[in-house]
Amino acid sequence: GQNIDQPTEMTATEGAIVQINCTYQTSGFNGLFWYQQHAGEAPTFLSYNVLDGLEEKGRFSSFLSRSKGYSYLLLKELQMKDSASYLCAVMDSNYQLIWGAGTKLIIKP
C-alpha cells in the first residue's frame, strides 16, 4: 500500500528553527511536494524535490533522500504567521498526489 507519515503536531518558539519530517512508501516516485495550509484556507505550494539534496527558498528549505524514502521541511526564523498545517505529498507512478495527514505547527511567542 501507499503510506506517508509525518508528525501530527509540533510546537516551536518564535525566532527558532523547526524541522518537520516526512517518510513515504509509494508505488513509484515522481517528486515530493510540501504545502502550507492555514486553517480554513487552501493549501499553498512551498517546495518540490525530485532529486536528492537540499532545496533552499528563503526561510524555508526542503530535503530529500530517495533511498531512505525521507524528506524534511526546515523553517528558520519562525514567525507567528508560520502557525499552520504542513502537508507532505508524493507524486506516484500514476502522477497522482498521495498526501500525508499533515503536521500542525504551533508557534509560541
Is residue 102 involved in binding other proteins (CB under 8 A)?
Answer: yes
| Interacting positions 34-63 with other proteins (CB under 8 A) | 35, 40-45, 48, 50
Closest Cα to residue 86, out of 22, 28, 31, 40? 22
Kindly state the number of chain residues that form the binding site for other proteins, as judged by CB under 8 A: 23
Per the listing, cell 508528525 goes with 7
Region near other proteins per CB under 8 A, out of 12-20, 26-34, 52-60, 69-77: 26-34
DSSP state of 27: S
The single-letter code of the amino acid at 46 is L
Query: What mask of x and - would describe binding to other proteins in positions 62 to 91, judged by CB under 8 A?
Result: -------------------------x-x-x
Displacement of CA 103 from its chain's centroid (Å): 8
Burial 24-38 (b: 16+ CB within 10 A, else e): bebeebeebbbbbee
Nearest distance, CB of residue 50 and other proteins, angstroms:
6
Q: Enumerate binding residues for other proteins (CB under 8 A).
A: 30-31, 33, 35, 40-45, 48, 50, 87, 89, 91, 95-97, 99-102, 104
